[in-house]
Chain A
Amino acid sequence: MNSSNLGKIKVSHPEKVSKPWTLQRGQIWFSLLAIFGLFVWSISRVDLSVGGIVEIFEGWPETRNLLSRMVPPFIPSEDFTVITKAALDTFFIAFAGTALGIVLGVPLGLLSARNLMPFAPVRALARAIIVFSRATPALVFAICFVRLYGIGVLPGLLAIGIHSIGMIGKLITDAAEEIDPGPREGVVATGAGPLQDLYTGVWSQMVPTVISISLYRLEIDFRSAPILGWVGAGGIGLILRGYAGSLRYQEMLGITILIVVLVILLEILSAITRHALLGKTETKLPGKPSKFLDLFFGDQARPGKKVADWMISKSSNEPKLKTRNHADRTLTPPWTRERVKVNSVGLIFFILLIFSIVIPDIAASKIVNGSQKLPSFIARLTPNDWSWFTDRIFSDMVDTIAIGLAATGIALLFAVPFSFLAASNTAPGRLVYLISRFFMLLVRCVPELVVAVVFVAAIGPGPKTGTLALAIGMFGFITKLFADSIEEARQGIRDGVNSTGANRLQESVTGVLPQVAPSMVSNSLYLLDVAIRSSTILGIVGGGGIGFLLMSAAKRLYFETLGGIIFCIFVVVYLVEIIATWIRRKII
């Protein structure tokens, strides 16, 4: 809603009260129509128009045959130790990987902030690294690192870490650029040097944001780590691939369920931690609507919320965060409950980090050896000419975009009605609301690549399968976002609609939907961006798109092609992000 536009409404005659067609409104509608057209195109491109859907149903006897070979899912007891170790490895990969992402991403983020780094070339370099890490999927880094560092936990950890730099760096930059200059001026006025200014004037303001970003990233990494083993980068994905490869589908489904349970558990733990550290205060990240973060935190917080509330119930004041860091030199802050709690969480994290590095037995020599090969590996990845760019790569890139679009479109189709059931103020009953919320949580905890593995087995490889798998993942995210928007709809307007005698459906469509439409559109665009990122790697497990050529170039040791494809992915993902951000700015 743009208030300046609202102000311009001129009611010339009573029956015409629509908003005038300003240039901005025209741009928004044009963009939305264009995206809608793209949705329609993408559905037929991935063969999910009616003919394609009919084919899926025609193939039902075969699919049923295969599904019957998947149930009952079980985890063989003789493999139990191996699986436990793999599950632990996955945890370590995600945990240490995120830590690496923070260690590298925070400085890079600060370096690319306009108000902190005066030298433009340094900012540009830092920003370039951030953009590249963000646009390249962790699984792609994993494929490369497996060749450099060998199989196991190390390449997975590094892949998660390097990819995490992107998001952490970007959010840190945004946060740094929006800090209050007041404290800095005060600090500088005392004669503090640049480092003192950075530490006392900047860092102390950013600590809550950094904690918030870190936990947010940790949750994302818990979801992406389980599949890394598919390409040899350690953890539970290795086991999943082993079972899928030898057609042991019952075991494969068993592992899939195990992964989902683990992801749910870890997210609940993370939610408790967040409440313990940050209390009930919402830390809004700059430049993003708070809903954007809730997408990742909010719902996970619900299962753990009661526990977390209980943990902080005794103290009504907001927790002080690591006050020791910026305390007066002569005064040590007292050991309050809050301080003890915050410090013990920090200590636990530190111990976990040590475990994550020590237990998987990561030798420093391996890191050194692998990194020495990095320059020559990058040289091998760099194509000498454009001969790698075949028509096939072009058409698979188009497929990739179509998969992302179609998956978002399908997800939206189901998510809009469902989100009304999952919002507390529009759900027809408490029970429906609770069931819907639980269903949403469950859906969101299944990594889409794991869904794709199961779907590829069940309905065969191809873009159709990848689209369906991705649509399920997107559905979970979209519903969550929409339901939360709906819960914030103003009651007054709804009361007004109700007073005219509208039924529940009329009230929802007229009283609620218009209020939340702008945020829905904006969130959908963000999710489209996410979907296209994911669609670039679906092909690695057989879900269609560029991932297949990526994986086969890696398998066939065609490094120039591999490098070329990574470049293509980067360009497409980055362009989509720019376009989506542009449209969102117009809307918000």
Chain B
Amino acid sequence: MKRNLSFKRMLAVALSLFMLTAVTSACGSDDDSSAWPSKITFGAVPAEDAGELATLYDTTMSILKDEIDGLEEIDFFEASEYAGLIEGLIAGRVDAAQFGGFSYVLATQTGAKLDVAGVLVDGPDAIPGYRSYLVTKPGSDVNGIDDLRGKKVCFVDPGSTSGFLFPSEGLLSAGMDPSETSTDIDPIFAGGHDVAVLSVVNGDCDAGFAADVFFVNKDGGPGILVKGGDINGVIDDVGDDDQNPENADVRIIWKTEYIASPPTAINTATLPADFIAKFKEVLNTKANVDYALANGYCTGTPEENTCSFRDDWGYIAKSDSFYDGIRKVCEVTKASKCD
């Protein structure tokens, strides 16, 4: 049994080595919310319509680093869900974040100290908003939001602005309870805009809600699902967003109000006020395609270029009150944590 003794000795050596490595690789870091930071952390979650997450905001990051004195490094924080982002902000691990409208409101109501730094838009004069569409199959007997009573209705996610919150308001106005426990409708959470629409096409849901970009793009061309071949076409009963109507798999029967575009939020608990002011100024005056092209951050024309402000033109200034509309809907719908 001598072999076993050597095993024991080995184990002892191994354990001490292990401890040693653990101790020696230690390093510290400190934070001070009043000091001008040289490094900030920017958070985001993967969205349905986006490319590689970290590279989506490349131009934004370069401009911020160049234009804000003393800011040398921007770390990228990726959360898989908005909840992770909100907790990151509350815990002070995240300094700025690209949000959804509803999750921004949810964050401010859960205890995150936030301010709106800017809003991404398609152009300097674009309406900073989008809509959610209610769709059904072309041959369905559901012809409007009032017909949803007793039907299986697909939502995106309980935390989604366009995929749940605004649709809920529509349902409430039509006299139906949109909550998970509703007996007026049979609500189903699909987990994604695409899945919500595909579930309608499959017949899993009688009708479903999804953001406009999935059906039609900003210029009136085919949206994400049409371009990807997931659906062949769309009939628009309440507008002129038809795409290949002769082959349509879905029919738009109702649209929400314009929903305030998602903000870039900044954490007032971790950053000093003068830094936040500078951050906002740079973001809203310089982080856009026009400035980036003129100053060599990217190449191309205003329409076709290599800039990455997600897929948009750039940021415009908006204040926290821009999201009061969402707050109101939040209250009306009595969505969770909206108190």
Contact = CB atoms under 8 A, between A and B. Distances in A.
Interface of A: 17-19, 29, 36, 39-40, 43-44, 49-51, 54-55, 59, 62-63, 65-66, 78-79, 81-82, 146-147, 149-152, 231-232, 238, 241-242, 244-248, 366, 369-370, 390, 392, 409, 413, 456-457, 460-461, 493, 509-510, 513-515, 517, 539-542, 548, 551-552, 555-557
B144 interface: no
Contact of A44 (B1, B25, B194, B228): B25
B218 interface: no
The winner among B26, B81, B82 for most chain A CB atoms within 10 A is B81
B58 interface: no
Interface stretch (B45-53, B123-131, B233-241, B295-303): B45-53
Contact of A152 (B78, B91, B204): B204
Contacts of B188: 151-152
B8 A245 contact: no
A43 B79 contact: no
B275 interface: no
B4 A515 contact: yes
A514 B5 contact: yes
Contacts of A539: 80
B183 to A, nearest CB: 10
Interface string B92-118: 110000000000001000100000000
B27 to A, nearest CB: 4
A-B pairs with the 10 shortest C-beta distances? A514-B4, A552-B46, A62-B91, A50-B26, A232-B191, A150-B204, A49-B25, A51-B26, A245-B159, A150-B202
23 contacts: A18-B3, A19-B2, A19-B3, A36-B17, A43-B21, A44-B25, A49-B22, A65-B91, A79-B181, A147-B194, A151-B191, A232-B191, A242-B158, A242-B180, A247-B106, A366-B203, A392-B52, A409-B18, A457-B84, A461-B80, A513-B4, A541-B80, A542-B84
Contacts of A548: 78, 80
B14 interface: yes
Contact of A542 (B4, B81, B157, B228): B81
A524 B179 CA distance: 47
Contact of B8 (A151, A241, A246, A509): A509
Given A242-B189, A392-B52, A43 B159 contact: no
Contact of B195 (A51, A146, A510): A146
B134 interface: no
Interface of B: 1-8, 10, 14-15, 17-18, 21-23, 25-29, 46-54, 78-84, 86-88, 90-93, 106, 110, 154, 157-159, 180-181, 188-192, 194-195, 198-199, 202-204, 224, 228, 230, 335-337
A469 B50 CA distance: 30
Contacts of A392: 52, 54
B224 A557 contact: yes
Contacts of B15: 413
A460 B199 contact: no
A47 B110 CA distance: 29
A54 B21 contact: no
A65 B86 CA distance: 13
A571 B129 CA distance: 44
Contacts of B51: 556
B158 A247 contact: no
B96 to A, nearest CB: 16
Nearest to B225: A557
Contact of B53 (A40, A152, A510, A552): A552
Nearest to A16: B2
Given A66-B90, A231-B191, 8 more contacts: A29-B10, A50-B22, A151-B195, A247-B106, A248-B336, A514-B3, A542-B84, A557-B224
A384 B25 CA distance: 42
A108 B21 CA distance: 47
Contact of B191 (A241, A409, A413): A241
Given A59-B91, A65-B90, A66-B87, A557 B337 contact: no
A460 B86 CA distance: 10
A81 B23 CA distance: 51
B81 A555 contact: no
A493 B4 CA distance: 13
B8 A147 contact: no
A480 B4 CA distance: 22
The winner among B82, B154, B191 for most chain A CB atoms within 10 A is B191
A245 B157 contact: yes
Given A51-B27, A548-B80, A147 B195 contact: yes
Contact of B80 (A39, A40, A542): A542
A517 B2 CA distance: 13
A556 B49 contact: yes
Contacts of B157: 242, 245
A366 B157 CA distance: 23
Nearest to B46: A552
The winner among A66, A150, A369, A552 for most chain B CB atoms within 10 A is A150
Contacts of A366: 202-204
A54 B195 CA distance: 42
B254 to A, nearest CB: 22
Nearest to B204: A150
A66 B90 CA distance: 9
Nearest to B88: A460
Given A44-B25, A79-B180, A246-B335, A556 B6 contact: no
Nearest to B335: A246
A150 B106 CA distance: 29
Nearest to B78: A548
Contacts of A82: 180-181
Given A151-B195, A151-B204, A238-B189, A248 B337 contact: yes
Contact of B28 (A51, A244, A513, A514): A51
A541 B83 CA distance: 11
A40 B21 contact: yes
A557 B194 contact: yes
Contacts of B204: 150-152, 366
Given A40-B18, A66-B91, A514-B7, A369 B84 contact: no
A586 to B, nearest CB: 15
Contacts of B195: 146-147, 150-151, 232
A555 B192 contact: yes
Contacts of B79: 461, 542
A493 B78 contact: no
A17 B2 contact: yes
B167 to A, nearest CB: 15
A242 to B, nearest CB: 5
A510 B6 CA distance: 11
Nearest to A76: B181
B202 A369 contact: yes
